[in-house]
Amino acid sequence: MEVPLAVLADAANVSREGKLNIFGIFNRLWAIKFPAKHPQAQLVMVFEADAGEAEQKKTVGVLLRDSDGNKILGIEGEFILPKAKPGQPIRINHILPLPGVPLPKPDDYVFTIVVNGETKARVPFGVAQAKLELPR
């Protein structure tokens, strides 16, 4: 299984027709004070597997680390791939809500997406100190 698309966004949804809609893709955040929390983000991923992988169980992990390699967040789950149409890959759109993601300091962070113990995608983003300027 591969992860051909992985992005951080403000919002995302999958329509009734199966279209993946992504709004506000970003790779940089600003915070006035630290530790900070991002109020609402979504990690949008597309998983793609060959038809031969149909009905197999997959373990998926999402790890958030800072530039020193410190683990900030870790999520793990399992799912079974659906049956495949002959000759077509299996595509699964997945949206992982991330309310209140902790951001301890201004730094470079990365979400790593791991499938069955193998890194399949990385989503880097930076967090910078915002300057609060008071009106004169």
Task: Kindly list the averaged pLDDT for each block of 10 residues, start to end, along the chain of length 136.
Answer: 97 94 96 91 96 94 97 95 88 94 96 97 96 71
Asked if the structure places residue 44 within a domain, the reply is yes
- Count of domains observed in the chain: 1
What's the pTM value of the predicted model, to 2 decimals?
0.90
Range of the domain at 18: 2-129
> What residues contact residue 116 under an 8 Å CB cut-off, 6+ apart?
1, 58, 59
Look at residue 84 and tell me if it is in a domain: yes
What is the model's pLDDT at position 135? Answer: 67
Greatest Cα pair distance in the chain: 67
25, part of any domain: yes
Domain presence at residue 124: yes
pLDDT at site 62: 98
Report whether 62 contacts 23 (CB < 8 A).
Answer: no
Report residue 71 as tokens: 């683990």
User: What is the domain-level CATH number for residue 97?
Assistant: 2.60.40.1930
Is 70 within a domain? yes
Domain assignment of residue 136, yes or no: no
Handedness of CA 97, 99, 104, 106 (dihedral sign): positive
Q: What was the pLDDT predicted at 132?
A: 74
Return the pLDDT at 5: 98
Decide: 127 and 74 in contact? Cβ < 8 Å. Answer: no
